[in-house]
Chain A
Amino acid sequence: MKLKAKAKNGIVKAKVMMQHDMITYDQAKKKGIKPNFITYVTASVDGKIVYEASTSQFLSKNPILKYKFRGEKGKKLTMTWKDLLGNTKSSTKKIK
């Protein structure tokens, strides 16, 4: 997971690229594999949630998400995703 966060005037702009195939039910049927896609993404600073999304199979492959929240420089931003098969991955980056 590639994560970037930059603070300016109390507003943090964050960008994340999650490596995931995002296989839809249609694609899975055609290829004879299991559907699997990211279903839930959260981001938090100091244990406080700043971004939260429940997602479906219609996000692009290796989805890129951008968002903004109120926050400060120097704090650590942690992002976690969960997919349909129950895999999770998380990544932490300092806000620049």
Chain B
Amino acid sequence: MQRRKFLSLGAVAVAAMIPSSLSATDYRETKPDTWTAKTVDDSIKKLYGSGKLIEKGVKLTTPDVAANGGAIPVDISSNIAAKSVALFQDANPESTVAVWTVPENGLVDYSLKIKMKASGTMTVVLEGLDGKLYVANKTLQVALGGCEG
């Protein structure tokens, strides 16, 4: 445990020294456990540790009823100065959908289309530069599942 703590401290120090414009983090390589976690809570813990989630400041927009589970439009936006943003859902076998690193000139305004097997809840977690975790949830109905296709 001591060693792990020490290593993570070192990683933070190194990350702080590199200007954010040069940062390139492939979360699949740095946090492989996140991508195999089966629940949203577990995924968040694996990615960000067990911080307190603050429910404000993040906007998550999806249709209330998605006709086609194979391509559900999702919009994420926020004015909070962010380090990274992650999208999760609880309908598919694994929870994590995508993790964005927010670079120096980047704005938190992302749109994408995702697949969901059944009705469920989507969760967005935003990691602010202040180290706090902001969260937004949205529950939606999926008429036709999109993972079998």
Contact = CB atoms under 8 A, between A and B. Distances in A.
Q: Does A associate with B in a complex? A: yes
A64 B70 CA distance: 13
A67 B146 CA distance: 24
Contacts, number: 115
A28 B44 CA distance: 27
Interface in B22-56: 22-28, 35
Nearest to B27: A54
B107 A70 contact: yes
A69 B101 CA distance: 13
A50 B103 contact: yes
Contact of A61 (B26, B70, B98): B70
Interface residues of B, number: 39
A3 to B, nearest CB: 15
A55 B112 CA distance: 11
Contacts of B116: 58
B113 A63 contact: yes
Given A54-B28, A58-B89, A58-B116, A71 B105 contact: yes
A25 B96 CA distance: 14
Interface string B68-110: 0011100000000000000001001110111111011111011
Interface in B107-133: 107, 109-116
Interface in A25-78: 25-27, 30, 39-40, 42, 45, 48-61, 63-71
Interface residues of A, number: 34
B147 interface: yes
B21 interface: yes
Given A51-B106, A54-B99, A64-B113, A27 B28 contact: no
A92 interface: no
Contact of A67 (B71, B72, B110): B110
A56 B70 contact: no
A60 B148 contact: no
B81 to A, nearest CB: 13
Contacts of B111: 64-67
Interface of B: 21-28, 35, 70-72, 89, 92-94, 96-101, 103-107, 109-116, 146-149
